[in-house]
């Protein structure tokens, strides 16, 4: 009798356990699918989602100590089942969420609420090593592979990373020390990298202390990056802000960047690898950028530009205590082209150079670069520029036998610093014209007279990316 009672009790406990598991699973499912709650969430996005979940539904703990990599990846994997059913979003509430790298999915939104912080793990084994980019040939910090980015995705469509100015903290000091001490076996990770993807939105976030580049869309199209704040120590190595790389139809708007490198760097591959891959960056618009970068440019074109850069439009650019405004970086061996560049409305305070073009930027992917691969630089237009406290107006250095042509500058007023260089302009191997430029430019940029102060082109027709309108997404959530 006692044995029979024990068997019945065991079966009863087993039944109760199964029921608890089923109820728990159903509860999790209902939390993912049910949008009725007391919390109102509204934001603008290229797509709204039919399903929502919180990282806490997957065991996430926001105490800054618990590692949440598995929780984030499980959440993304489970939510991916709704890609064909209206898409899904993962809410990250206030807290400090320690995590290693995890992959995103299509028709998906990662939303960081106010006071939510993603903390990048400093455990190296949390960062997988992946192949170098084919248009680069090998890593930038070291030959061979590269550490995967914190937020990563490839071959995706309709991906949104946004929030209520939540934060992604790369905790980059460890990586910067390894870089300076030359202890890196692979190239440092970025904070966000999306490859071979389409319809991307990254908005309304703060990114701090990236190990290297912050945002890197590559081989992708139809990209909107707006309302982003990026902060890094101004002496941190290679902490570029936003680097569109072999991308088409890109809109960067209302971004504020303090960086140890270029605030925006436009790229398309490195030397023979970029030439072979042959994928340019084109149809890029940059509006209302504010940059602080004492050792680099507000906007750089290159130096990895071997696949080509074309149709870049920048307007309403503010730079403070920054090395240069819009800089072109290239070299013999790069090949490719930079052409049809239009800059309108730059306000610059405390600059080393206003205009800087470099044809001897020496770094190469390896020793196999082609000395006959000369870059084509032409059709570079600047207008409506005001700069003050400037050390040197321009340093324009083309390539002997391969001059930079079609340079146009109009309506430019530069106030020199008290300890400015004796000669404000240095020009070699360039061709172009100017109008209404002060101080007077070099002889290779002859003045066409004040009546032509608006002669430099700036397109009036919009790019396709400007036709993409944001939707207002509204949710009632119980988080």
Q: E strands within 359-403?
A: 376-397
Predicted local distance difference test score (pLDDT) of residue 3: 39
Q: How many CA atoms lie within 13 A of 467 on its CB side?
A: 6
On the question of pLDDT at 16 being above 60, the answer is no
Pairing of strands 309-322, 337-358: parallel
Is residue 212 pLDDT above 60, yes or no? yes
Residue 142's pLDDT band (boundaries 50, 70, 90)?
A: very high
Q: Give the per-residue pLDDT at 479.
A: 52
Q: Does residue 42 fall inside a structural domain?
A: no
319: in domain: yes
- 106 part of a folded domain: yes
Q: What is the pLDDT of residues 222-265, one digit of tens each?
A: 999 999 999 999 999 999 999 999 999 999 999 999 999 999 99
Q: What is the mean pLDDT of residues 341-367?
A: 96
Q: Quick check: is 265 in a domain?
A: yes
Whether 271 maps to a domain, the answer reads yes
Query: What is the span of the domain harbouring residue 57?
Result: 52-360+372-462
**For residue 36, is it within any domain?**
no
From residue 106, alpha-carbon distances to 88, 89, 190 in Å are 9, 11, 20
Contact 440, 393 (CB under 8 A): no
Structural domain contains residue 37: no
Would you call 261 a catalytic residue per the annotation? Answer: yes
Whether the full predicted model's pTM is greater than 0.85, yes or no, is yes
Residue 269's domain is classified under what CATH number?
A: 2.160.20.10
Whether residue 26 is predicted with pLDDT greater than 70 in this model: the reply is no
Q: What is the pLDDT of residues 295-340, one digit of tens each?
A: 999 999 999 999 999 999 999 999 999 999 999 999 999 999 999 9
Mean pLDDT of 74-92: 98
Number of domains in the chain: 1
Nearest of 214, 226, 111 to residue 470 by alpha carbon: 226
Alpha-carbon Rg for the chain in angstroms: 26
pLDDT at 452: 84
Catalytic residue among 261, 271, 311, 429: 261
- Provide the pLDDT for residue 38: 57
Note whether residue 406 is domain-resident: yes
Kindly state the DSSP code that residue 259 receives in the 8-state scheme: -
- For the cut 70, the answer to whether the pLDDT of residue 88 exceeds it is yes
């Amino acid at each position: 009798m006692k044995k029979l009672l024990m068997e019945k009790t065991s079966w009863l406990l087993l039944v109760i356990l199964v029921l608890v598991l089923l109820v728990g699973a159903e509860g999790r499912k209902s939390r993912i699918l049910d949008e009725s709650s007391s919390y109102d969430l509204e934001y603008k996005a290229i797509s709204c989602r039919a399903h929502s979940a919180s990282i806490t539904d997957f065991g996430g703990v926001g105490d800054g100590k618990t590692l949440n990599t598995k929780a984030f990846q499980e959440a993304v994997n489970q939510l991916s089942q709704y890609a064909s059913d209206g898409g899904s979003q993962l809410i990250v509430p206030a807290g400090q969420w320690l995590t290693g790298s995890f992959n995103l999915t299509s028709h998906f939104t990662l939303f960081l609420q106010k006071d939510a912080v993603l903390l990048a793990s400093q455990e190296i084994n949390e960062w997988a090593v992946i192949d170098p980019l084919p248009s680069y040939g090998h890593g930038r910090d070291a030959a061979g592979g590269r550490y995967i980015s914190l937020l990563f995705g490839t071959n995706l469509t309709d991906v949104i990373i946004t929030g209520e100015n939540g934060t992604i903290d790369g905790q980059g000091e460890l990586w910067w020390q390894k870089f300076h001490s030359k202890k890196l076996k692979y190239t440092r990770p970025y904070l966000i990298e999306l490859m071979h993807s389409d319809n991307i939105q990254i908005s309304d976030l703060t990114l701090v202390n990236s190990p290297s580049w912050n945002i890197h869309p590559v081989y992708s199209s139809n990209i909107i990056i707006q309302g982003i704040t990026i902060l890094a120590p101004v002496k941190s190595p290679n902490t570029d802000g936003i680097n569109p790389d072999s991308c088409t139809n890109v809109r960067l708007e209302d971004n504020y960047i303090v960086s140890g490198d270029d605030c925006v760097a436009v790229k398309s591959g490195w030397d023979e690898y970029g030439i072979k891959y042959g994928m340019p960056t084109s149809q890029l618009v940059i509006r209302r950028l504010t940059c602080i970068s004492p050792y680099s440019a507000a906007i750089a074109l290159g130096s990895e530009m071997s696949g080509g850069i074309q149709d870049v439009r920048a307007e309403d650019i503010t730079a403070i205590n920054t090395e240069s405004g819009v800089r072109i970086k290239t070299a013999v061996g790069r090949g490719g082209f930079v052409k049809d560049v239009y800059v309108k409305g730059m306000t610059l305070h405390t600059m080393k150079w206003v205009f800087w073009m470099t044809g001897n930027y020496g770094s190469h992917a390896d020793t196999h670069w082609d000395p006959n691969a000369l870059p084509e630089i032409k059709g570079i237009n600047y207008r409506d520029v005001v700069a003050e406290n400037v050390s040197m107006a321009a340093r324009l250095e083309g390539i002997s036998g391969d001059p930079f042509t079609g340079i146009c500058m109009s309506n430019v007023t530069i106030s020199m610093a008290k300890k400015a260089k004796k000669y404000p302009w240095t020009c070699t191997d360039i061709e172009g014209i100017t109008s209404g430029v002060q101080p007077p430019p070099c002889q290779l940029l002859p003045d066409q007279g004040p009546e032509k102060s608006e002669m430099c082109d700036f397109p009036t027709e919009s790019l396709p990316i400007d036709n993409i309108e944001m939707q207002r997404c509204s949710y009632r959530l119980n988080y």
